[in-house]
Amino acid sequence: GENVEQHPSTLSVQEGDSAVIKCTYSDSASNYFPWYKQELGKRPQLIIDIRSNVGEKKDQRIAVTLNKTAKHFSLHITETQPEDSAVYFCAEGGGTSYGKLTFGQGTILTVHP
């Protein structure tokens, strides 16, 4: 079945530094890889996603890279700000189970002012 490993589980950075979160997946048929940000007590919010026909996608301070051969993808946040502090989840989908997403366990990101 599908499985997603996410690292690190916690990440602490200083404001202005970069943060990188990495995920590996098992279903070679997966072709959709979203990232969600969840603030305490709030709903998960889609912040960026990438499809398997693209190696990298950028949106302002956030970027995602995908290596289909190695079956891993990463979230990069540059110039971090305190409001970036949240739990970040990676997920994979679009493979053998089409619509459903399989999520990683989450990374608690803390940005210190």
Distance of CA 111 to the CA centre of its chain: 17
* Smallest separation (angstroms) from other proteins to the CB of 21: 13
Rule CB under 8 A: which of 61-90 touch other proteins?
89
**Paired residues of 14 in beta bridges:** 112
CB 79 within 8 Å of CB 61: yes
* 7 touches other proteins by CB under 8 A: no
* 95 touches other proteins by CB under 8 A: no
Please count the other Cβ atoms lying within 10 Å of the Cβ belonging to residue 59. 10
* Smallest separation (angstroms) from other proteins to the CB of 79: 26
Please count the other Cβ atoms lying within 10 Å of the Cβ belonging to residue 16. 11
Residues at the site binding other proteins, with contacts judged by CB under 8 A: 6, 32, 34, 36, 42-46, 49, 51, 89, 91, 93-94, 97, 99-106
